[in-house]
């Protein structure tokens, strides 16, 4: 085997070994919003006092989610959902009563928040490969029925 072939074989083996490691990475932890990097299509940057902390755990094939909105405590949220896209009921939330979470890649989630089957928010999370944060992008329907896109950045605490 030539030197180039050996190098190619070593690189291929290294890449193959990295994929399972990334797939097995635990993205659980506590994340806090970065308001100055985040924005919405209906008003540009989020308010400077935007402050959301999201705690997530991955247990088996489920996500355990808890969030605290410092400026709107009524928007705090707790749920446990499978990562297979199954729609599960959500109690105690005035805006939506169902949630579906689907793992769409080793470091990506799709989260649908629904009211009686109507999708009000479609969010797509992409975790950094290094596990230090994530970006949440999506589209949400406001109380007036108009939809707006958003992009929110979070750093691990």
Domains and CATH numbers, the chain: 27-156 (2.40.128.20)
What does pTM read for this prediction? 0.81
DSSP state letters, 72-101: -GGG-EEEEEETEEEEEE--S-SS-SEEEE
How far from 123 is each of 10, 17, 114, 141, 148, CA to CA, in Å?
38, 30, 12, 12, 12
List, for the chain, all residue ranges whose pLDDT scores fall below the cut of 70.
1-24, 43-45
Q: Please list the residues that pair with 32 across neighbouring strands.
A: 53, 155
pLDDT score for 62: 97
H or E element that contains 11:
helix 3-24
**pLDDT, tens only, 12-46:** 444 444 434 334 578 999 999 998 899 888 766 67
pLDDT score for 23: 46
pLDDT score for 44: 65
pLDDT score for 143: 81
């Amino acid at each position: 085997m030539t030197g180039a072939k050996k190098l190619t074989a070593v690189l291929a083996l290294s890449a193959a070994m990295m994929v399972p490691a990334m797939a097995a990475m635990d993205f659980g932890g506590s994340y806090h919003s970065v308001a100055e990097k985040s924005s919405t299509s209906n008003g540009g940057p989020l308010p400077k006092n935007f402050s959301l902390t999201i705690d997530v755990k991955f247990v088996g094939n489920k996500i355990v989610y808890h969030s605290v909105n410092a400026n709107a405590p009524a928007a705090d949220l707790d749920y446990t959902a499978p990562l297979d896209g199954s729609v599960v009921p959500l109690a105690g939330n005035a805006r939506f009563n169902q949630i579906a979470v689907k793992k769409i890649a080793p470091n990506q989630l799709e989260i649908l928040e629904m009211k009686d089957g109507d999708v009000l928010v479609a969010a797509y999370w992409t975790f950094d490969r290094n596990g230090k944060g994530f970006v949440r992008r999506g589209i949400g329907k406001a109380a007036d029925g108009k939809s707006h896109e958003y992009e929110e950045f979070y750093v691990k605490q």
